[in-house]
Structure 1
């Protein structure tokens, strides 16, 4: 008896269905679903689909479909651009970004078609090497976009991610892809599994090492005690930080009429947090408008400066300001015109007396969200759709000094490294403040 029309249809399009399945499993392994164990088998259908490809061109499109669907599900956060940009440019930017990142899957698939799946241990090793190399290229090509690196899917897998301290997130991606390719090799050669079992030797060894190393590292770590009355050994240096989340939507945040209420929300939360006597207060990225800090808006400036005096605590605050940062808040002068100077996404360290202790300007900006890449090469009508003034790139890694008063006779200086939102996904950039002797790292973001 022959196959039914439905069965024939499924057989003809089996490779596409397998590609879709892999995209779905990869998506489920990432936040916000967080089914991270799926990542260890998510690419198996994809590798099997490649064996159905008739050539490298067919493999290319199988890879592109997988990558496009995966990133389409992973990157809806690009919709956050809408408050800054026309809805048309938001959709175009989303599709361009998804289409671009999907190309890395396509190139990977085309290259893997050149490696026979019956090559035993060579297939998984080649897959892991090529994949990791392409992830690394994606992390710096054009402006760099490392979101979706498979290693990040394991963020909640504590034993599995400890090896990142040795090999970074790319090392985790290497092991996960190696394991997937080893399983796929065995399944594709299941009739000769005794000969092909060797394809799993290296993946199993490295996976055991990965989890074994993680378990060893965690064995000596004390569990994080979330109780407020937890005791800390006397010789342990601590920094008590109060994070003030405004939970302000993007549409509200950039509406100037909403700012007084937003500022009051942050001030109320800060007063509440100050009752716990923290060493430092931290507000999110671009949480306060620069005009409230300079004194150009006297009422807002008065409320903010009064809060500083009342709480008597240093604060890190995110803002967007022009040109060089003033030496202290409240320095607005009509004689100083900064309207033609570039605007920066900054974090400021402000002491209780209003003096500016330091600032850091974001260096790695979000394409189309904070600046327009290759603006000179785009059609003239594209920049017209952008409804925000692009930020300028920061030039230097500045540490933020904070002076912590432990008691009346002891003031301790702590230098903090800041990473603003998108910058935190770039390991090399996150490492720079540490190399400049930052004792604490902080990530400020503006997501609600």
Structure 2
């Protein structure tokens, strides 16, 4: 007999079509599976609304609830893992949707691969929130689920997998208590807080008898946040510095800047007599190596003399002393380039290089992937301004730490520059390719989180917007330059001293999360060892005719 109760088909007999009821049931099951997958992807995409440009920061604390409830309802662990995967796919597409015009279908391929990182997280959700969870399981979920989420964020933060764009904690870039928390444990601690709150709300949204531990857990989370707000050290004021940002803007319908260098010259020359300490140009603001073009170097030095301040420009060009194309932050003073130069270390996958080009080089024919890989810098650099007029630290001038574009998403890079003595962080960026998307706002908001983590102000200067400045606590300084502006902006930037807990202790929330998951694995392993081993079931003996043997025969 087969599984449907019919007779077995003889070998060689012509196949018969499945009964109509079976075909209908299979089609209905397939449609249900597709609908559930679409719902999972949609639920996973919801947290993207907490990021700029919508910037519904408050939504982050409930945005995961529909996804958690869906995984919780899964009928099996396999279904829960699938819900986690498809939700992760939806999340990655939503926070990177502005890449679609450049990478096309390859964006979906990358999102599907990275979405697999959330499959184990789906298993954890099902394990701790599925069915009717006990108070103990709910309490454990408030620690385990944020830890699992942090592990996903840690893995995908590797540059080769796309980097830490869209970390959940970054959505809180304008919330003062969250920024204070970032100074204690970085963006990781804020992400853990957001996931813990979502977990507690998910339990409260059910009718289970486990609401009490959920409420207790949320109260604990609130208490920890309040303690961080009260006891975390605040940056100590240490004078001010006047910084100007030069944003040439977009000048044609195709998103390109016509004669960009000339426009930057014009805007910079208008800053003469403004008593500035530093002028910052955006990423790729100079298209030729200054060693090969002494005429350009001389023109920038003339601008420095006119303005009375050093200029930090960004060169995107082939080098005369080394093979390949580099993106470099170059400091130019009244006498020309000062010798301070930083070569970008972490490159944008597909945008500035193609990983495993021999295997994935076809991406250049599908979208706007890099036709040639740019070269990497070897080390971070802290530069010394020579023309600061005493306000920023006396005769010693000011020490600045430059980053280029994508690098402002990496918490460890700004932390390292701060530990090396940087008093001001600078990010030179260009997002003109994605001018009408959410990308410019999202990118600028990262500077607020980096400033709060390090207790150092940060300047985010771009070619076409959004350019913005944030103080040592992550607070916005002055008004940003939007994507429609071709202008300059001057900022009185507050400086600060002191060391934040995050700069001192680093990514300790991630290490704690790894410890929680390791303890979980050890506990599950010990439980499996204590489980009694069942004896194998021995089938009854059969006669020569195949029927069960009777006792005594």
CA distance in 1, matches of 2:124, 2:251: 43
Query: Hey, what does 1:310 align to over in structure 2?
Result: 306
CA distance in 1, matches of 2:185, 2:195: 15
Query: Hey, what does 1:276 align to over in structure 2?
Result: 274
Matched, 1:201 2:211: no
Query: Hey, what does 1:25 align to over in structure 2?
Result: 46
**Pick aligned residue for 1:175 from 181, 193, 205:** 193
1:70-95 deviations in whole A, cap 9, x for unaligned? 22221133358x4xxxxxxx224422
CA distance in 2, matches of 1:31, 1:376: 36
**Pick aligned residue for 2:127 from 92, 110, 114:** 114
**Pick aligned residue for 2:342 from 343, 347, 360:** 360
**CA contact 1:160–1:211 (8 Å) conserved in 2:** no
- Tell me by how many angstroms 1:419 deviates: 1.3
Indicate how the Cα distance of structure 1 residues 66 and 368 shifts in structure 2: closer, same or farther if over 3 A, else same.
same
Query: Hey, what does 1:439 align to over in structure 2?
Result: 423
Indicate how the Cα distance of structure 1 residues 254 and 388 shifts in structure 2: closer, same or farther if over 3 A, else same.
farther
Query: Hey, what does 1:5 align to over in structure 2?
Result: none
SS where residue 309 of structure 1 aligns?
helix
Aligned pairs for 1:155-194 (under 5 A) are 155-188=173-206, 190-192=207-209
Matched, 1:398 2:381: yes
**CA contact 1:345–1:361 (8 Å) conserved in 2:** yes
**Pick aligned residue for 2:158 from 140, 148, 155:** 140
SS where residue 163 of structure 1 aligns?
helix
**Pick aligned residue for 1:42 from 58, 63, 66:** 63
**Pick aligned residue for 1:421 from 399, 405, 412:** 405
**CA contact 1:158–1:214 (8 Å) conserved in 2:** no
1:203-236 deviations in whole A, cap 9, x for unaligned? 3211343145336769x789xxxxxxxxxx9xx4
**CA contact 1:282–1:315 (8 Å) conserved in 2:** yes
Q: Mark the runs of 5 or more structure 2 residues left unpaired by the alignment.
A: 1-27, 432-463, 465-553
Aligned pairs for 1:197-346 (under 5 A) are 197-211=212-226, 213-214=228-229, 236-248=238-250, 258=258, 261-291=259-289, 293-294=290-291, 296=293, 298=295, 303-323=299-319, 341-346=323-328
CA distance in 1, matches of 2:62, 2:254: 41
Query: Hey, what does 2:169 align to over in structure 1?
Result: 151
Query: Hey, what does 1:66 align to over in structure 2?
Result: 87
SS where residue 128 of structure 2 aligns?
coil
SS where residue 289 of structure 1 aligns?
coil
SS where residue 404 of structure 1 aligns?
coil
- Tell me by how many angstroms 1:103 deviates: 2.1
SS where residue 182 of structure 1 aligns?
helix
1:354-404 deviations in whole A, cap 9, x for unaligned? 13230001111100111111223336x456775543211110112122112
Query: Hey, what does 1:376 align to over in structure 2?
Result: 358
CA distance in 1, matches of 2:45, 2:79: 20
CA distance in 2, matches of 1:128, 1:397: 32
1:1-44 deviations in whole A, cap 9, x for unaligned? xxxxxxx99x9678557535533531211111000111111111
State the TM-score, normalizing by the size of structure 2. 0.64
Q: Which has the higher contact order (CA 8 A, sep 6+)?
A: 2
Of structures 1 and 2, the larger Rg is shown by: 2
Indicate how the Cα distance of structure 1 residues 288 and 277 shifts in structure 2: closer, same or farther if over 3 A, else same.
same
SS where residue 348 of structure 1 aligns?
strand
Q: Mark the runs of 5 or more structure 1 residues left unpaired by the alignment.
A: 1-7, 83-89, 223-232, 324-336
- Tell me by how many angstroms 1:444 deviates: 1.3
CA distance in 2, matches of 1:415, 1:352: 18
1:79-131 deviations in whole A, cap 9, x for unaligned? 58x4xxxxxxx224422332233222333113332334403312232211211
CA distance in 1, matches of 2:219, 2:45: 25
1:227-254 deviations in whole A, cap 9, x for unaligned? xxxxxx9xx4322111111223799787
Q: What is the Cα-based RMSD across aligned positions, in Å?
A: 3.2
Query: Hey, what does 1:228 align to over in structure 2?
Result: none
**CA contact 2:382–2:402 (8 Å) conserved in 1:** yes
Query: How many residues are paired up?
Result: 393
Query: Hey, what does 1:97 align to over in structure 2?
Result: 110
1:326-348 deviations in whole A, cap 9, x for unaligned? xxxxxxxxxxx66x712211000
